[in-house]
A and B are shown apart, each in its own frame.
Chain A
Amino acid sequence: MTAVDAGEIRSLRTELLEAHRDVARLRVQNEQLVASNRDLSQQLTSATQSGGELLRTIVAFRQLVEAGDAVGTLRSIADILINIVGTEDFAVLTTTEMPTLRAVIGMGPAVEQLRLAPPTLAELTATRSRIVPLLIADHLVGAIVIDTLLPHRDGFSIADEQVLGLLSTFAATAIVAAQQRSGWTRLHVAEVA
């Protein structure tokens, strides 16, 4: 066995302590890096989601701007409700025959029910879960009724709400434009099936 003097032992102990400190320091740095990586990953996911949501709003806006006339706008609204928001059962109604509202476009049972039995505004608000009012300033010109989303949609997202807000303004403008141009009765809008 080799004899080791006290000085050498002290030196080895010091080195060992430093090595332990290095390991502890590296552990802390590693934890910080992992946390930072997780944070960056969350930020990237969030940015990707925000980008996707913004893109959805841009698509809706572009479609509405390019729709042209009132019928085109209403068709675009239906198209957006199906392809961007993911609605399965909806109707767009106007207030042109007050006191009842008239369904002019839609998909699924809602539009048929509302066509057969045009509701008053009070009946509509009492019986339907989601109504988007179509307003020009404070003047109500119609409403979008959404009875159901597609089953795989888990409620309305913030982006959906932004798109619905956009639709309500454009739909209201389209309805008023149609009324002023040729009289609403000449505006024939088929159900989107």
Chain B
Amino acid sequence: MPSVLSRKKILLVDDSPTAILWQRLILEADQYEILVANDGAEGVRLAKAEQPDLVLLDVMMPRMSGFEALRALRAESALRTMPILMVTTRSEMANVMEGYESGCNEYITKPVDRTELLMKVRSYLRSDGAQQ
């Protein structure tokens, strides 16, 4: 089990309390430290302040959409290479290209599958220094 200091930090950005709780329970059980933001603007603020190791970003959110938040995050030099996984429903898939063009690394569809989420998160966090 990683120590508190070595735990990777994941920022969840979603306006759905259910989605947040679901992702949080899955990822906390895998020993990640979780930060939560309820909209895009809060997500950008928290990402700048906390420099998480990975961000899970919902597409449809109030105040600032996931795409706007994504562009704002990529505009920050310190956050340019941070893995960002967009979380979307199938009906939003028309926007997938926009997401990749704006700099997201990967898409996950809702409802988020536990195994898929863990595999994708682990693969991104393992490559830069092992979350074991």
- Partner-B contacts on A (CB < 8 A): 48, 52, 55-56, 58-60, 62-63, 76, 79-80, 82-86, 88, 150-153
Contacts and interface: CB of A to CB of B under 8 A. Distances in A.
Contacts of A86: 110-111
Contacts of B114: 52, 55
A150 to B, nearest CB: 5
B90 A83 contact: no
B19 A83 contact: yes
B109 interface: yes
B115 interface: yes
Chain B contact residues, majority secondary structure: helix
A63 B26 contact: no
Interface of B: 16-19, 21-22, 25-26, 89-91, 109-112, 114-115
A60 B110 contact: no
Contact of B90 (A52, A55, A79, A152): A152
A60 B18 contact: yes
A60 B112 CA distance: 14
Contacts of B17: 63, 76, 79
B90 A59 contact: no
Contact of A82 (B16, B21, B115): B16
B115 A83 contact: no
Nearest to B26: A55
Given A82-B16, A150-B109, A59 B22 contact: yes
A2 B25 CA distance: 76
Contact of B18 (A52, A59, A153): A59
14 contacts: A55-B26, A58-B25, A59-B18, A63-B18, A79-B18, A80-B18, A82-B89, A82-B111, A83-B16, A83-B22, A84-B22, A88-B89, A88-B91, A151-B90
The 7 A-B pairs of least Cβ separation, nearest first, read A86-B111, A52-B114, A79-B18, A83-B19, A83-B18, A150-B90, A151-B90
A84 B18 contact: yes
Which of A58, A59, A82, A152 has the most B CB atoms < 10 Å from its CB? A59
